[in-house]
Amino acid sequence: MSRPRAAPPSDLPPPPPVPPVLRQNLQLVQQRVFVGDLQRFHTVEIGPATVAEDVVKMVASQGGLEDLVGSGGWMLWEVAQDFGMDRPIRGFELLQDVFASWNKDKMVNTLMIKRTLLEQILRRSALPSASPICRGYVEYEVKRGKWNKRWLELREHSLYLAKRDNGKDETFLCSLSNFDAYHVTRLHKAPKPYTFAVKSTDNLSFFENTADYVHIFSVPEKEGQMWMEKILLARSYMLIQERTVLMAKSGGLNGTAGSKGLARAPTRKQPPRANQTLVAAPSPAVFEPGSLLAKR
Q: Pairing between strand 29-35 and 134-143?
A: unpaired
**Residue 71 banded pLDDT, cuts 50, 70, 90:** confident
Res 245: pLDDT: 52
Query: Could you give the dihedral angle defined by the CA atoms of residues 84, 90, 94 and 96, in that order, rounded to the nearest 10 degrees?
Result: 10
Q: What is the pLDDT of residues 172-229, one digit of tens each?
A: 999 999 999 999 998 888 999 999 999 999 988 889 888 899 999 999 999 999 999 9
Of 146, 135, 80, 85, nearest to 108 (Cα)?
80
For the chain, give the mean pLDDT.
80
Res 275: pLDDT: 45
Q: List the single range of 59-73, 151-165, 168-182 with lowest mean pLDDT.
A: 59-73
Instruction: Select the highest-mean-pLDDT range: 2-11, 182-191, 261-270.
Output: 182-191
Domain ranges of the chain: 27-126, 129-248
The domain 129-248 is placed in CATH, from the list 2.30.29.30, 3.40.640.10, 2.40.360.20, 3.40.50.1220, at 2.30.29.30
Q: What is the pLDDT of residues 139-155, one digit of tens each?
A: 999 998 899 999 999 99
- The answer to whether domain 27-126 and domain 129-248 are alike in fold is no
What is the CATH class of 27-126? alpha beta
User: What is the full DSSP assignment across 90-107?
Assistant: PTT-BHHHHHHTS-TTT-
